[in-house]
A and B are shown apart, each in its own frame.
Chain A
Amino acid sequence: MGLTTVQLEHKAIEIRQDIIRMLEHAGSGHSAGPLGLADIFAALYFNILNIRPSEPEWPERDIFFLSNGHTVPVQYAAMAEAGYFDKEELLTLRKLGTRLQGHPEREKLPGLENTSGPLGSGLSQAAGYAYTLQYIEEVSHRFVYVVMGDGELNEGNIWEAAMFAGKNKLSQLIAFIDRNNIQIDGSTESVMPLEDLKGKWESFGWHVVEIDGNNVESIIDAASQGRAITNRPTVIIAHTIPGKGVDFMEYDYKWHGIPPNSEQAKLALEKLRTLDGKITHEGAGV
């Protein structure tokens, strides 16, 4: 029923191309994070999440909260690819009157579960939803997913939520950390060291999985492991390459908060198309 790995990789490349087009057109926004997250979002929207894009409020759906709202172009691109809205609308990103606000606003766009931007609050919201499912509704077949940044883990609110979820053994809560090692002022370890990150989450009572966050199979496996763990919340430390897919952006923290200009966008799209060709060429069973 689901897409093959190669098909998912193609979705990720489609999403990356849309991100470049959107950001170039918008003239502002974040490049590195969304590109690095494209594989996770392809896996979420085309495999992991039990959702109905034509029925965003479907009561049986899984819930996805984006905590680091500045990466929302990747979510918009994935949602458009999944059929929540027409792809043409992607080019309205950040324009006056758009449903695609610079940072996500729930009431503007059906399919968004929360409003975020100021960092640190998404894990709590996901925990609140997961608590409701587990202890009040007593429903065990629905899951709550959240994506956080790694720089975002500087926020105290995150650790309040980590304590809360650990105490309550919120087993339907599955969190992704986009471990790309960059934040605005430089590398995460120079700005405010996070390591031992795995040890920190384990000591808060979480099941921790570390994966290559640009490998869709690993992402899907980790999420499935998270769903199978019934006595703890799961956090997936997903090591990603910031700017992934566009070689001149990869690993360069300067691309955290800026968009490509038209020349850079053209070059980036060429790189991504080349990548696309490679996958088609190498991949079996497309």
Chain B
Amino acid sequence: MSHYPLNPDVFNDDVALEPIRAGFGRGLKAAGEANEAVVALCADLTESTQMHLFREAFPKRFVEIGVAEQNLVTVASGMARAGKIPFTSSYAAFSPGRNWEQIRTTVTLNNQPVKVVGSHAGVSVGPDGATHQMLEDIALMRVLPNMVVIAPGDSIEAEKATKAIAENGKPSYLRLARDKTPIFSTDESPFEIGKAYVLREGAEVTLLGTGTMTYQLLVAANILAEQGIDAEVVHVPTIKPLDEATILASAKKTGRVVTAEEAQVNGGFGGAIAEFLGEHLPMPIIRIGMQDRFGESGAPNELLEHFGLTGAKIAERVKNWAADTPRYHQDA
């Protein structure tokens, strides 16, 4: 197994923090430099979604759409027909929240390489409250044929993922978070669409994380180790297509699987893993995330704590579960 280079400071109190969306802003500008066909469209949230870096560098290739998310993706679909690679951005609650049918028909059924970038996803949006904390986007996007779904774990990975989807020729959804989050990867860490990465090897339980939750799983694994539980942490930035081989290998090895996401587990990342294991390696799993409920206002860290999405809370949950859960499929 190839070694995944983690940020050496990842477990320090002063670990570098940066919003995942900042990586998108840099990645989009770089993608624009690498390929003239890349264009960007925004629905009146250009700085918030970090598209201003692209707008400043390539004003001619930036299109202001105004607060009109249906028009956002359909204009992009028309530009894709004209040979462009359009990136569209808004808050995830609005795009893909409001314009799902337009994405379905004019992007995925029409099979055009439009990139839907949903910023401010998850409860860590904070004080804006439930209306703006998008939790259903993973479910909405992964159910669409032809759609690639990616939730990068930190800003460095978001930059790589942005450059990668600029060149994949497919409809793609990129999920971004608003708040500053710890950087666990490095410039040298690998990122490839459709690949999952083992960040920490372990034998007794597999912790599968996507987006902002991967860092929390790394923290949880440290706490579990102190308590005598050897956890493996697998980072799954691409939710569709899943890296089935990596996930299956880890699940077979440990016989216990936990998923974590800042989204609805129903239909979300946890849903995707449950479907996959149900077909290939049936076993009870636990799915950490939002349990069929909306978020609420609060400070981002308070909310993560409140909903059981911090490393400490996850470790506690996993420890209690593991105590009376056997390791499955270990007889072979």
Q: A120 with B63: in contact, given A63-B81, A128-B78 (CB under 8 Å)?
A: no
Chain B residues within 8 Å of A, Cβ to Cβ: 39, 60-61, 63, 65-66, 68, 70-71, 74-84, 86, 101-102, 105-106, 109-111
Q: How far is the CA of A113 from the CA of B80 in the complex (A)?
A: 11
Bin chain A's interface residue count: 20 to 34
What residues of B have a CB within 8 angstroms of the CB of A125 in the complex? 74-75, 77-78, 81, 106
**Bound CA–CA A286/B63 (angstroms):** 49
Whether B81 and A121, one on each chain, are in contact in the complex, defined by CB atoms closer than 8 angstroms, is no
Nearest B residue (CB) for A144: B78
Alpha-carbon gap, A125 to B71, bound state (A): 8
Partner of A115, one of B61, B76, B105: B105
A65 touches which of B63, B66, B68, B78 (Cβ 8 Å): B78
A125 to chain B: closest residue by CB:
B78
Q: How many angstroms from the CA of A136 to the CA of B40 in the assembled complex?
A: 12
With both chains docked as a complex, state the minimum distance between the C-beta of A212 and any C-beta of chain B, in angstroms: 29
Q: List residues of chain B with CB within 8 A of the CB of A106.
A: 110-111
Query: A105 an interface residue at 8 Å Cβ cutoff?
Result: yes
On whether A124 and B77 interact (CB within 8 A), knowing A115-B109, A118-B105, the answer reads: yes
User: Is the pair B101, A115 in contact by a Cβ cutoff of 8 Å?
Assistant: no
Q: What are some 10 contacts across the A-B interface (CB < 8 A)? A: A106-B111, A114-B77, A125-B74, A125-B106, A128-B77, A128-B82, A157-B70, A157-B71, A161-B74, A164-B65
Give Cα A132 to B110, complex, Å. Answer: 19
Bound Cα distance from A133 to B84, whole angstroms: 11
Bound state CA distance, A135 and B77, in angstroms? 16
Cβ contact of B75, chosen from A117, A133, A156, A161, cutoff 8 A: A161
Max chain A Cβ within 10 angstroms of own Cβ: one of B74, B78, B84, B106: B78
Interface, chain A (partner B; CB < 8 A): 63, 65, 105-107, 113-118, 120-121, 124-133, 135-137, 156-157, 160-161, 163-164
Chain B binding surface, main DSSP class? helix
Whether the Cβ atoms of A116 and B105 lie closer than 8 Å is yes
What chain B residues lie within 8 Å of A130 (beta carbons)? Answer: 78
Contacts of A136 in B (CB 8 A): 39, 60-61, 84
Question: Do residues B74 and A157 form an inter-chain contact, with CB atoms below 8 A?
Answer: yes
Which residues of A lie under 8 Å from residue B75 when comparing CB positions? 124-125, 127-128, 131, 161, 164
Bound CA span A130–B66, Å = 18
Query: Which residues of the partner chain B approach A120 to less than 8 Å between Cβ atoms?
Result: 70
| Minimum CB distance partner of A115 in chain B | B110
B80 to chain A, nearest CB (A): 8
Name the B residues within 8 Å of A126 (CB-CB): 78
Report A-chain residues with C-beta under 8 Å of the C-beta of B74: 121, 124-125, 128, 157, 161
Q: Given contacts A114-B77, A115-B110, is CB(A132)–CB(B84) below 8 Å?
A: yes
**A121 surroundings in chain B (CB, below 8 A):** 70, 74, 77, 102, 105-106
Chain A positions within 8 Å of B110 at CB level: 105-107, 114-115
* Chain A contacts for B71, CB-based, 8 A: 124, 157, 160-161, 164
Closest chain B CB from A175 CB (angstroms): 13
B63–A131 CB distance below 8 A: yes
Residues A156 and B70 in contact, CB atoms below 8 Å apart:
yes
Cα separation A1 to B37 with both chains bound (whole Å): 37
- Docked CA distance A215–B60 (Å): 40
Q: Which residues of B contact A163 (CB under 8 A)?
A: 66, 68
Measured between C-beta atoms, what is the minimum distance from A63 to chain B in Å?
A: 7
CB-CB under 8 A for A117 and B68, given A125-B77, A161-B75: no
Distance (whole angstroms) from the CB of A225 to the closest CB of chain B: 23
Q: Name A161's closest neighbour in chain B (CB-CB).
A: B71
Residue of A with least CB distance to B84: A132
* Additional 13 contacts, C-beta under 8 A, given A114-B78, A118-B102, A121-B77: A114-B77, A115-B105, A115-B109, A120-B70, A121-B102, A124-B71, A127-B75, A131-B63, A136-B39, A157-B102, A160-B66, A160-B71, A164-B66
A128 and B39 alpha carbons, distance in the complex (Å): 11
Pick the contact of A131: B66, B79, B80, B102 (CB < 8 A). B79
B106 — nearest CB in chain A belongs to which residue? A121
Contact residues in B for A128 (Cβ distance below 8 Å): 74-82, 86
Query: In this complex, what residue of A is CB-closest to B146?
Result: A107
**Chain B contacts of A129 at CB under 8 A?**
78-79, 81-82
B69, closest chain A residue (CB): A160
Point out which of B75, B77, B109 has the most chain A C-beta atoms below 10 A from its C-beta. B75
